[in-house]
Amino acid sequence: MRIAIVGAGAVGGYFGGLLARAGNEVTLLARGEHLDAIRMNGLEVRSSRGNFNVAVHATDNPADAGPVDLAFLTVKTYQNAVAIPSMAPLMGSATSVITLQNGVEAYKEVGRAYGMDRVLPGAAYIETHLAGPGIVEQVGDVVRIVFGEADGSSTQRALNIQDTFRAAEINSELAGDVLKALWAKFIFIATLAGVTSTSRASMAPLLADPESKAMVISCLREIEAVGRAEGVGLDDDVVDKIMAYMESTAKDLHASMHTDLELGRPLELEALNGSVVRLGREHGIPTPVNDVLYSLLVVHKDGYQ
């Protein structure tokens, strides 16, 4: 399969590396020293599942890849305004696009540009980072992609993509209701990002304090209410499950937005708490906790020196 990874950083680089190792014709779209290192030394992947190095085509020009069968969109959401139009040379008559980004609106942006029939919304569950130019490091036991047709239909193209994932040893789930999975992750990640960034704390001390814990639960409930207003069939106990996960596995986590804030980088705020605020207003759903989180973080959304 001809595959392009639009934004071959930590997440895109990891999955692109596995797909290239499995014999797919992969092009990594990258920039700067990262791109130079991949061209010179190949892509190095360090993983809890084993390390490997793979020679893979890398470029900063989508036209070098030409039309592909499958494109992954894995850039930060604030880069979409540039990244999505740049994907035009990748689009052939039957090109599919999987979006693996934070938030719940990116797939609609791709759909507006190239047609909703091309887009398969997805979510990546993985902890990974760039250990250096050309070096992707994955840690932890959870590595999974959930994806599917936005309308819940079963299609041959989705089955073919799942077969490609399996051949590359990528754990994947072809979801009948991918928007439900997307929103379940969104409830968690938007809350984690908003509260840890604003408080400059991990979840553990927040959950240990009764008032802070109540705020976390209110944030979760607000996002759940917005998701239901969007027509998403969330489980009745979705917040209870997320709280149980936060109090166990995720209690020591910092969101990537928290790290970006500390390092002065741009924030994915608009795709996370900003999205909650906007969609809440559209549906007449009060979001007071997210309103406060957004208002305190928005001054940093473009980063600082």
Angstrom distances, CA of residue 267 to CA of 8, 9, 104, 171, 201: 18, 16, 16, 29, 17
**pLDDT for position 284:** 98
Which H/E stretch holds residue 242? helix 238-247
Mean pLDDT, residues 159-167 taken together? 97
Asked if 36 contacts 6 with a C-beta cutoff of 8 angstroms, the reply is: no
Return the structure tokens found at 212.
């802070």
Higher pLDDT, residue 168 or 142: 168
Domain ranges in the chain are 2-176, 180-300
Q: What percent of the chain has pLDDT over 90?
A: 93
2-176 and 180-300 agree in CATH topology? no
If you average pLDDT over residues 269-292, what whole number do you get?
98
Q: What is the mean pLDDT of residues 153-165?
A: 96
194-to-33, 100, 102, 166, 179 alpha-carbon distances in Å: 31, 20, 13, 34, 21
pLDDT tops 70 at residue 305 = no
Encoded tokens for 232: 């998403």
Q: pLDDT (tens digit, 9 = 90+) per residue, 278-287?
A: 999 999 999 9
C-alpha 231/C-alpha 100 separation (Å) is: 21
CA distances from 137 to 7, 82, 128, 258, 292 (A): 16, 27, 6, 20, 35
3-state secondary structure of 154: coil
Q: Locate 129 and state its tokens.
A: 């980072």
**Do 50 and 19 contact (CB within 8 A), yes or no?**
no
**What is the band of 304 on the pLDDT scale with cuts at 50, 70, 90?**
confident
Give the span between the Cα atoms of 66 and 81, in whole angstroms. 21
Taking 3-state DSSP, the helix, strand and coil percentages for the chain, each rounded to the nearest 5, stand at 50, 20, 30
List pLDDT tens digits, range 199-256.
999 899 999 999 999 999 999 999 999 999 999 999 999 999 999 999 988 777 778 8
Supply the mean pLDDT for the chain. Answer: 95
| Residues 267, 173, 125: CA angle, nearest 5 degrees | 30
Which amino acid does the sequence have at 231?
Answer: G
Closest Cα partner for 74 from 97, 108, 41?
97
Comparison of pLDDT for 127 and 213, the residue scoring more: 213
What is 180-300's CATH superfamily? N-(1-d-carboxylethyl)-l-norvaline Dehydrogenase; domain 2 (1.10.1040.10)
- Condensed to tens digits (0 to 9), the pLDDT of residues 177-187 reads 999 999 999 99
Alpha-carbon 76 to chain mean position = 8
The full DSSP string for 110-133 is HHHHH-GGGEEEEEEEEEEEEEET
pLDDT of residue 172: 96
d(CA 139, CA 161): 25
pLDDT digits (tens, 9 = 90+) for 25-71: 999 999 999 999 999 999 999 998 899 999 999 999 999 999 999 99
pTM: 0.93
> Do residues 2 and 70 touch, judged by C-beta distance below 8 A?
yes
2-176 homologous superfamily: NAD(P)-binding Rossmann-like Domain (3.40.50.720)
- Count Cβ atoms below 10 Å from residue 178 Cβ, excluding itself: 23
Please state, in angstroms and rounded to a whole number, the distance separating the CA atoms of residues 271 and 73.
15
Helices 210-229 & 238-247 angle (0-180, nearest 10): 140
